[in-house]
Amino acid sequence: MPFNVGLLIVSDACSKDPSLDQTGPYLQTFFRDSPTFILSKREIVSDTTAEIQKTVSSWASEAENIKLILTCGGTGFTQRDITPEAVRPLIQRHAPGIVHAMLSESLKKTPFAIMSRPVAGVINKSLIITLPGSPTGARENLEAIIATLPHALAQLDGKDSRALHKKMARTMGDVVPGDAKSPHTHATHTHLITHELSSPVTQRARKSPFSMVSMNDALHLISSYTPKSRIVEMDITNRELLGSVLAETVVSSVNVPEFPASIVDGYAVSSSDGPGIYPVVAVSLAQKQTENSGLQPGQIARITTGAPVPPGADSVVMVEETELISTTHDTIEEENQVKILAMNVKPGENIREVGSDLKKGTVIFKEGYQIKNGGEVGLLASIGRSKVRAWRKPTVGILSTGDELKDPDEGSGLQYGQVYDSNRPALISTVESFGYRCLDLGIAHDDEEGLFHSVSKGLDLADYLITSGGVSMGEKDLLKPTIERKFGGKIHFGRVRMKPGKPTTFATIGDDKVIFALPGNPASASVAFHLFVLPSLLQYQGVHADGVNLLPGLPRLKVRLVKEAKLDDQRPEYQRAYIYQNEKMELVAEITGGQRSSRIGSFRGANGLVCLPAGSDVGKAVIQGEVEAIMFGQPIGRVV
């Protein structure tokens, strides 16, 4: 679980003009992509004891759940530098080790560090640290201690920090007692741990140590081992709100409209007055209004669409159904008398009554509702909500692995044996199209060091790591042993009875990180994403399954094959297809050419996967007629 951070900028100048604050924005970027910390509060106060103490005390209260409070500024020698003096009386237990670590690191950079007077310690269950005011100073101090903070904060929170100890030791390359080295059992299979990373090819396993699980078992394992996200407060303007699941029931606290509003531009009248010539005694425009004197019988008011209908009027006549009779002769010419032509005007005509669009107290969304479109975001805004509580969506890191891969951006063409990396762009655009934040982790070499470095980076920055390549039986297929041996990961399955995508691997690390190690073959990687990774991402962020399927995911429907398809005898197959409605309004599927797993061209024009059974399961070599399909795109247009 990430820790909430509160950042308090202490500066007279910045409190008067926040645009002068450079440290706040700088540290915000520092925390932006951190999976461990979330910058949840940021405020600026002047260099005054009372203001500093008020904010720090409120942030350190249990209700705020801020685990790390950082102040920036006011730690020097000038008369106004009083941050340590303001903070010290609030500290219940001092943490001199943190102060020492920051000072010794700073002294390596500048002798002026002796003029910094930081304090650090515990207030209730929060850790407070006073950082220098300059962006670089603050950052350098923070970097000196950041690696150990999760451990300290977990202890403060009363958590068992042994797991963290282990994780840290592992990242630092230590041997951790209890790391898996012997045969171990998983829910559906037992396997010997993958081969040693450094063992010679002559000693590699000649059979996969992973039993081949069925699609159904694979989905069950994903459902059981996918971690759950946490609740965050989201701005409604946050792009990630679309598709997010609400963690609160939203009730309208206002009436929409809050006042009787005109539906048209015209004149507010009393319906019982009928047609005739009336004086225009008031004007009601769609704007904030302070007074509304009201109309007497026989008077009318000019009004615009959306403006409040004055008391005394009970309907509005459109300007098209009126005539101007006379004007005033003041400095600004105004309407004086207007003839109402409309007959049979009914009470309430052209008026939106109070609460007629939405009544105060109406439940708009129940907890667990997934926001589906921008209009729903508008609905939240229409009742004055600028933030909602929702389940945080995971961030996803994408890593390609393979010594043969070349980034097209490098230019200079391919050398013999090289191929362009197509999985990374394919996966990044697919992941983003489903509304998840993606991190491009580049290409890792097929060696221990390259994989360790890139996987560490991915696990540091993202909740989900999706890799492609290096999961089958080749001597350079090192991902599975890397996950198990270097990261203490649990591989829940490492082979699935399916085509393409057989070596698809699902692993978790600790209780909050997920790795999907997809096959390198480009069609296999993209198919496996849609079938396994997407449902896991959805479950992680709180989307419920539909009651028919085990996991949330893409819509499934019945389609008719345009041509008969050949079945793989051993494995159920997911062929890429273009699904559309024919002239008889039937959903039909055309397979998109060659389906070999290396052929990413099979995705050209595809908007779905047709699910074909294994030949041996149905006792057939070919299939025709109706089959099940999974849609991943819109059924629009014909392929050209």
Stretch that binds ligand MOO, among 167-175, 225-233, 395-403, 493-501 (CB under 6 A): 493-501
Q: Which is nearer to ligand LQZAQKY5, 298 or 408 (CB)?
A: 408
What is the smallest separation between the CB atom of 470 and Mg ion, expressed in angstroms? 6
Give the pair of three-digit tokens for residue 231.
Answer: 């609740």
Q: Which is nearer to Mg ion, 233 or 475 (CB)?
A: 475
Total of residues contacting ligand MOO (CB under 6 A): 8
Which of 189, 191, 302, 499 is close enough to bind ligand MOO by CB under 6 A? 499
Query: Of all helices (H) and strands (E), which one includes residue 325?
Result: strand 322-327
Which of 23, 226, 244, 597 is close enough to bind ligand MOO by CB under 6 A? 597
Residue 524 in the binding site for ligand MOO (CB under 6 A): yes
Residue 227 in the binding site for ligand LQZAQKY5 (CB under 6 A): no
Per DSSP, helices labelled H in 92-196 are 96-109, 135-145, 149-156, 162-171
Q: Which is nearer to ligand MOO, 482 or 524 (CB)?
A: 524
Please report the sign of the dihedral spanned by the C-alpha atoms of residue 98, residue 101, residue 104, residue 106: negative
- Rounded CA-CA distance 78/385 in Å is 43
Partner from ligand MOO, Mg ion, ligand LQZAQKY5, none binding residue 404, C-beta < 5-8 Å depending on class:
ligand LQZAQKY5
Which of 521, 575, 592, 602 is close enough to bind ligand MOO by CB under 6 A? 521
Residues 6 or more apart from 171 whose CB is under 8 A from it? 456
- Rounded CA-CA distance 631/611 in Å is 11
What is the smallest separation between the CB atom of 523 and Mg ion, expressed in angstroms? 15
Q: Which is nearer to ligand LQZAQKY5, 260 or 500 (CB)?
A: 500
Q: Which is nearer to ligand MOO, 519 or 608 (CB)?
A: 519
What is the smallest separation between the CB atom of 499 and ligand MOO, expressed in angstroms? 5
- Rounded CA-CA distance 403/413 in Å is 15
Total of residues contacting ligand LQZAQKY5 (CB under 6 A): 27
Give the pair of three-digit tokens for residue 54.
Answer: 């008020």
Residue 273 in the binding site for ligand LQZAQKY5 (CB under 6 A): no
Q: According to CB under 6 A, which residues from 411 to 470 bind ligand LQZAQKY5? A: 419, 421-424, 468-470
Residue type at 9? I
Instruction: Give the residue nearest to ligand LQZAQKY5 (CB).
Output: 520
Residue 502 in the binding site for ligand MOO (CB under 6 A): yes
Residue 54, classed as helix, strand or coil, is helix
Give 500: exposed, middle or buried? Use CB within 10 Å, 0-12, 13-18, 19+.
Answer: buried
Phi, psi of 64 (to 5 degrees): -80, -25
Q: Which is nearer to ligand LQZAQKY5, 299 or 423 (CB)?
A: 423
* Alpha carbon separation from 83 to 8, 86, 116, 175 (Å, rounded): 11, 5, 11, 42
Give the pair of three-digit tokens for residue 61.
Answer: 């209260």
What's 533's DSSP letter? I
Query: Of all helices (H) and strands (E), which one includes residue 448?
Result: helix 448-461
Q: According to CB under 6 A, which residues from 618 to 637 bind ligand LQZAQKY5? A: none
Stretch that binds ligand MOO, among 87-95, 203-211, 337-345, 496-504 (CB under 6 A): 496-504
CB distance 520 to 421 below 8 Å: no
What's 364's DSSP letter? E
Residues 6 or more apart from 86 whose CB is under 8 A from it? 49, 52, 53, 56, 74
Phi, psi of 287 (to 5 degrees): -165, 170
Q: Which is nearer to ligand MOO, 189 or 499 (CB)?
A: 499
- Rounded CA-CA distance 350/21 in Å is 51
Residue 519 in the binding site for ligand LQZAQKY5 (CB under 6 A): yes
In the stretch 468-497, what mask flags binding to Mg ion with x, by CB under 5 A? ----x-x--x--------------------
Which of 260, 481, 520, 608 is close enough to bind ligand LQZAQKY5 by CB under 6 A? 520
Q: According to CB under 6 A, which residues from 490 to 509 bind ligand LQZAQKY5? A: 500, 502-503
Q: Which is nearer to ligand MOO, 171 or 598 (CB)?
A: 598
What is the total residue count of the chain?
640
Q: According to CB under 6 A, which residues from 339 to 398 bind ligand MOO? A: none
Which of 73, 74, 494, 501 is close enough to bind ligand MOO by CB under 6 A? 501
* Alpha carbon separation from 372 to 433, 536, 543 (Å, rounded): 14, 19, 12
Partner from Mg ion, ligand MOO, ligand LQZAQKY5, none binding residue 6, C-beta < 5-8 Å depending on class:
none
Residue 500 in the binding site for ligand MOO (CB under 6 A): yes
Give 592: exposed, middle or buried? Use CB within 10 Å, 0-12, 13-18, 19+.
Answer: buried
What is the smallest separation between the CB atom of 217 and Mg ion, expressed in angstroms? 23
Give the pair of three-digit tokens for residue 257.
Answer: 């409209």
Phi, psi of 594 (to 5 degrees): -55, 135
Could you tell me how many helices (H) and strands (E) the chain has, helices first? Answer: 17, 35
What's 233's DSSP letter? E
Pairing state of beta strands 395-401 and 464-468? parallel
Residue 420, classed as helix, strand or coil, is strand
What value does the CA radius of gyration of the chain take, rounded to a whole number of Å? 33
Total of residues contacting Mg ion (CB under 5 A): 3
**281-289: Cβ within 8 A, 24+ apart:** 282/310, 284/308, 284/309, 284/310
Which of 481, 522, 535, 608 is close enough to bind ligand LQZAQKY5 by CB under 6 A? 522
Residue 467 in the binding site for ligand MOO (CB under 6 A): no
In the stretch 291-330, what mask flags binding to ligand LQZAQKY5 with x, by CB under 6 A? ----------------------------------------
Q: Which is nearer to Mg ion, 25 or 474 (CB)?
A: 474
Contact residues for Mg ion, defined by CB under 5 A: 472, 474, 477
* Residues at the site binding ligand LQZAQKY5, with contacts judged by CB under 6 A: 400, 402, 404-405, 419, 421-424, 468-474, 477, 500, 502-503, 519-522, 524, 597-598
Contact residues: ligand MOO, CB under 6 A: 499-502, 519, 521, 524, 597
